[in-house]
Amino acid sequence: MSADLPEPVRYSLSVLALYMNPNGTHGRPGFQKFTGARRVSEKTLQRHLEAAIAGGWLVLAQRGGRNGDGSTRANSYAAAIPGDLYPRLNGILGP
């Protein structure tokens, strides 16, 4: 992962992992809670999540939004392993 993502993005993923189930699913902290724990702006956090999704390290499992009663639900994320990781593993881990 270190070869693919900058340190701030990796740190955001580490914080997100605290809100996931042990199997790496249902990471659903909500942006208010997540930005407070990560201490970055919502825009910065969105960029971090987009970079992780683009890199194949994270999946948006369910998009949040508004419920019919006006309440909101958070996006739900799941950890992932990029499909091209295994062929590149030696280069990432080094000799």
Q: Of 49, 65, 50, 59, whose CA–CA distance to 83 is shortest?
A: 59
pTM of the model: 0.79
Q: Of 78, 54, 4, whose CA–CA distance to 46 is shortest?
A: 54
SS3 42: helix
58 pairs with which residues across the strands? 79
pLDDT, tens digit, 9 for 90 and up, residues 31-77: 888 888 899 999 999 999 999 999 999 999 988 888 888 888 888 99
Mean pLDDT, residues 21-40: 88
